[in-house]
Chain A
């Protein structure tokens, strides 16, 4: 089954404790992206990747890191989480950047609480 898998689904942590949210897709997609979703603000793009070893900042990259060492995986790293990073996070992937094919497929989401 074609899917985007995020782990964990739920995470409660404390300020300053490094964490990684994993994202994996099995569709051989080139493009992957991380978003956070907050009430009233909608989805905001954190980082995106056009292909292996090619990543760039979205609109809200501060406090986050990403890597793309393999095509299928795109982990999101919070080196020193803070309470303002409490949010619902979505990973998404799409086949390519050509508009007709840039339909994004989303993972189920990771709800993160930083205390």
Chain B
């Protein structure tokens, strides 16, 4: 079967660093994506990993370990506008289906 787990909620302080973890169990792998979704809005793409290691993109970085079925999204220098849900998504072999985790709601406090 296919399953993606990520924490339901996290709280962090403005200016700090936060790490959002994602674990997955799947029968095939073709990519791991992170999307950001503000309340009432559509998801928007943040980052993806297809090979093991860290991908850095400004204040956002994403890490992947395929052997462990594990990824994390790292947000640095947190800003109030980073308060949103962060969705981990797995793309299976062949790339046809995308499985999303339930999302992690991040609250950034002053």
Q: Is the CB–CB distance between B42 and A59 below 8 Å?
A: no
Contacts of A48 on B, CB cut-off 8 Å? 96-97
Instruction: Assess the A103–B97 pair: CB atoms within 8 A.
Output: no
Task: List, in ascending order, chain B residues with CB within 8 A of A19's CB.
Answer: none
Q: Are A58 and B97 in contact (CB under 8 A)?
A: yes
Q: Are B96 and A108 within 8 A (Cβ)?
A: no
In the complex, A10 Cα to B35 Cα: how many Å? 23
Chain A proximity of B69: nearest CB distance (Å): 17
Q: Is B65 an interface residue (CB 8 A)?
A: no
A50, B35: Cα distance in complex, Å: 21
Chain A interface size, under 10 / 10 to 19 / 20 to 34 / 35 or more: 20 to 34
The verdict on A11 contacting chain B, using a C-beta distance below 8 Å, is no
| B85 to chain A: closest residue by CB | A42
Check if B7 is an interface residue, CB within 8 A of chain A: no
Of B30, B35, B44, the residue contacting A99 (CB under 8 A) is B30
CA distance A90 to B94 in the complex (A): 22
> A44 CA to B87 CA in the complex, in Å?
12
* A41 partner residues in chain B, CB cutoff 8 A: 102
Q: Which residue of B lies closest to A108 (CB)?
A: B42
Taking beta carbons and an 8 Å cutoff, which residues of B are in contact with A?
A: 30-31, 33, 35, 41-45, 48, 50, 87, 89, 91, 94-103
A sample of 18 inter-chain contacts (CB < 8 A) reads A33-B98, A42-B103, A43-B87, A43-B89, A43-B100, A45-B97, A45-B100, A48-B97, A50-B96, A90-B43, A97-B96, A99-B95, A100-B48, A102-B95, A103-B45, A104-B45, A106-B43, A109-B42
